């Protein structure tokens, strides 16, 4: 029997994989990434889904909202991520106003995200108003993940990031929208910042998986922004965020030590230079 290490690539996660995970009762892990290095690290760590979120607007570009992100920005970030991934399913956010004008324009833009960036699927925010657009994109062979609840691209419409669907009528509308998105062909659905009981009800009533962020433990999977869960960003402190590291402090201490070593002439030492 050969003891040679297998050189086979890890089995790719597909949209069907995550649908099957729901039917098997296996929870789905999802994180954001926006560049080659971070994507490579979390892919090798075993993450199932990488979302190239328009949250890049906040954590990478320093904007207050996700609204300024353009299709070109998202294509750039997505292509960087795709090059760093061997196994994970890479989903790209369609940015604000790239799919809301007409279904035809939305399809063209979604096609660019797949062809130019190499995304495996796209994500779109909204319910009933985008159903025809979702159908058109899915019919063209492009997988779509839906997104309901708190929809950051609509921040100027709602004016706040508070929990959504706390009232009966809005909760009923969210359930209707979730079912419409499933019927339109979405393979999964993000539920953001809604009551846990409502998320559980939606998860139970859909055959496609739900991915929660601030939506309780009954969703089929969970997603966090990588920079938040690694503790790179210390200013953002919502109830749903669990920090798994404090890389802000680690990096600050490393940079301070480097400055100290440069000023004291400790760096570079004799082993860190070339002769000649």
Active site (catalytic) residues: 192
**Beta carbons of 57 and 69 less than 8 angstroms apart:** yes
Q: Tokens at residue 242, please?
A: 């669990």
Q: Which residue has the tokens 């075993």?
A: 46
């Amino acid at each position: 029997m050969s003891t040679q290490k297998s050189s086979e690539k890890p089995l790719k996660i597909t949209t069907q994989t995550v649908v099957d995970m729901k039917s098997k009762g296996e929870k789905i892990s999802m994180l954001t990434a926006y560049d080659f290095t971070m994507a490579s690290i979390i892919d090798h760590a075993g993450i199932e889904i990488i979302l190239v979120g328009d949250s890049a607007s906040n954590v990478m570009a320093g904007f207050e909202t996700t609204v300024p992100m353009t299709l070109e920005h998202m294509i750039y970030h997505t292509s960087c991520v795709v090059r760093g991934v061997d196994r994970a399913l890479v989903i790209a956010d369609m940015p604000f106003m790239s799919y809301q004008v007409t279904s035809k324009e939305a399809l063209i833009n979604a096609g660019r995200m797949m062809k130019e960036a190499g995304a495996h699927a796209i994500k779109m925010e909204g319910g009933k108003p985008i159903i025809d657009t979702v159908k058109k994109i899915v019919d063209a062979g492009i997988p779509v993940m839906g997104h309901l609840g708190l929809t950051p691209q609509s921040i100027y419409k709602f004016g706040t990031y508070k929990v959504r669907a706390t009232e009966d009528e809005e909760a009923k509308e969210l359930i209707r929208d979730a079912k419409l998105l499933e019927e339109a062909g979405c393979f999964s659905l993000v539920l953001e910042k809604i009551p846990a009981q409502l998320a559980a009800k939606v998860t139970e009533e859909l055959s496609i998986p739900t991915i929660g962020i601030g939506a309780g433990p009954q969703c089929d999977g969970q997603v966090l922004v990588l920079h938040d869960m690694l503790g790179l960003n210390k200013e953002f402190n919502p109830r749903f965020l669990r920090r798994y590291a404090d890389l802000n402090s680690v990096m600050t201490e490393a940079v301070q030590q480097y400055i100290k070593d440069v000023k004291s002439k400790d760096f570079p030492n004799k082993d860190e230079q070339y002769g000649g």
